[in-house]
Amino acid sequence: MARIKAVGTGSKKDTITKKAAALFRKKGFASTSMRELADNIGVEAASLYNHIGSKNELLQTICFTIANAFTIQLEKVAGTTASNISKLESLIRFHIQMMLRSYDEVFVANHEWKQLQEPFLTNFLSQRKNYENALVGIVQDGIKKNELKKLDPYVVVLTLLSAVRGLEFWQRHKKNLDATKLENDMVNHLIKGLIK
Amino acid sequence: MARIKAVGTGSKKDTITKKAAALFRKKGFASTSMRELADNIGVEAASLYNHIGSKNELLQTICFTIANAFTIQLEKVAGTTASNISKLESLIRFHIQMMLRSYDEVFVANHEWKQLQEPFLTNFLSQRKNYENALVGIVQDGIKKNELKKLDPYVVVLTLLSAVRGLEFWQRHKKNLDATKLENDMVNHLIKGLIK
DNA sequence: GTACAAAACTAACACTTATTAGTTTTTTTG
DNA sequence: CAAAAAAACTAATAAGTGTTAGTTTTGTAC
């Protein structure tokens, strides 16, 4: 009946993927059925398969789109001559912005990657590990150059990454806070406290 | 065949719940079947129902055991005359210890509460909201009394809660870090940076 | 308007799910 | 050892899963 709308420049596959991200976030990947996704789009479940390969492919697309965005930004920032502290600040701000701009997708990449099948699961984990290691490298260098407090670099990275992840909760308080103040307060808490 | 072992003082229901928490953490609630849980215990799926009411009851037990532990600790700490900053530090340390002592259960409570059915879902969320609000109150009072930097109290609480949550990642680096150093470094990062 | 392609539909498949009923085995109690 | 209780088993149910095949409808181009 109702055709799947391809909004703007995006394909119909993009429309489906977007809606899938929203549902996967709200209910979890395993608890979202293809019939439910189809219902939400206004179409029969079987019709989705004219546009996508499988349910798992949807998850893969979401997870790797996000992972690649972070990887690319990391490479961009790491290649500059900025101080380690400002590299960290810049990456934290990117995390915050991604969270605000692509909430559903980032959430799904953070929470539902476990449901990826091989070899995607292994790929995803190794990409994430590389990202973490690069951050640890920045912190280590910052400590060596006396920019940062002498804390365990792993703990610092873990604390930073987890804190920005917490922006998930922010959606609940959205009304009471503007994004810029949020970003600045969080960076302030995490970075200024970090500077020696 | 093989009977379900009731270890120590715990009932057989406890044994099942513990194993369920481990599986729900590893694979997610929806992706863990009762057959899989039973297999892991060494028994047929139907046999589990001699000890438990339902799959959902397992999740409820896990989520509310953890939620209650945090609520009780909050009441204990809130009732003292300690400074706000040391109340916060004490609660952060409790979070860290819970994470290290009851990893699977805390993880499941943090990630799988969405799969709770009504009215448990609503109860769980309101209990969590109360907890957050109490923390916000402590931070607000701390700011008023000039103990803490003037940051948005919601953002501070969100940052703190998310950071301790990140201890999930710690399991991966367990070998390289001892628990005490971890706890102190994290508190140092989060609190010392917070003190005016 | 007719041909072609895109994308919807219906119907079905093979499988898995949580859970129940009924029965048999094992353990505990007297 | 016999009786009672606990806890395992087998078998089945009804519902839901992702996905495919085959068909019909819809939109587009000449």
CA of A49 to C1' of C4 (A): 21
Q: Residue A144 and residue B196: Cα distance in Å, rounded?
A: 26
> What's the token pair of residue B77?
């700490």
- With H, G, I as helix, E, B as strand and everything else as coil, classify residue A139: helix
Q: Class for domain A1-53, per CATH?
A: mainly alpha
Beta-carbon separation of A190 and B159 below 8 A: yes
Q: What percent of chain A lies above the pLDDT cut of 90?
A: 58
Nearest residue on chain A to B151, alpha-carbon basis: A185
Proximity of residue B11 CB to strand D below 7 A: no
Proximity of residue A55 CB to strand D below 7 A: yes
Average pLDDT over residues A95-122: 94
Domain chopping of chain A, boundaries = 1-53, 55-192
Architecture of domain A55-192: Orthogonal Bundle (1.10)
What is the per-residue pLDDT across A42-92, written as a single tens digit (0 to 9) for each? 999 999 999 999 999 999 999 999 999 999 999 999 989 998 988 988 998
Nucleotide nearest to A31 (CA to C1'): D17
Q: Residue B89 and residue B95: Cα distance in Å, rounded?
A: 10
> What's the token pair of residue B116?
């709770």
In the predicted structure, residue B158 carries a pLDDT above the cut 50:
yes
What is the pLDDT confidence band of residue A163, given thresholds at 50, 70 and 90? Answer: confident
- Between B168 and B187, residue with greater pLDDT: B168
Which of A50-79 are b and which e, b meaning 16 or more Cβ less than 10 Å from the residue's Cβ?
A: ebbeebeebbbbbbbebbebbbebbeebee
pLDDT score, position B66: 97
> Strands (DSSP E) along B77-183, which ranges?
none
CATH number 1.25.40 given to B12-48: no
Q: Which residues of B touch A161 (CB under 8 A)?
A: 166, 169
Output the CA torsion sign for A148, A150, A151, A153: positive
**Strand C nucleotides within a 7 Å radius of protein CB atoms:** 6-12, 16-22, 26-27
Q: What percent of chain B lies above the pLDDT cut of 90?
A: 58
Beta-carbon separation of B163 and A167 below 8 A: no
What is the per-residue pLDDT across B10-25, written as a single tens digit (0 to 9) for each? 678 999 999 999 999 9
A148 forms bridges with which residues in the sheet?
A: A195
Nearest residue on chain B to A179, alpha-carbon basis: B155
Q: What is the DSSP string of A47-98?
A: HHTTT-S-HHHHHHHHHHHHHHHHHHHHHHHHTS---HHHHHHHHHHHHHHH
Residues of A at the B interface, defined by Cβ within 8 angstroms: 26-28, 30-31, 111, 114-115, 149, 151-152, 154-156, 158-159, 161-167, 169-170, 173, 176-177, 181-182, 185-186, 188-190, 192-194
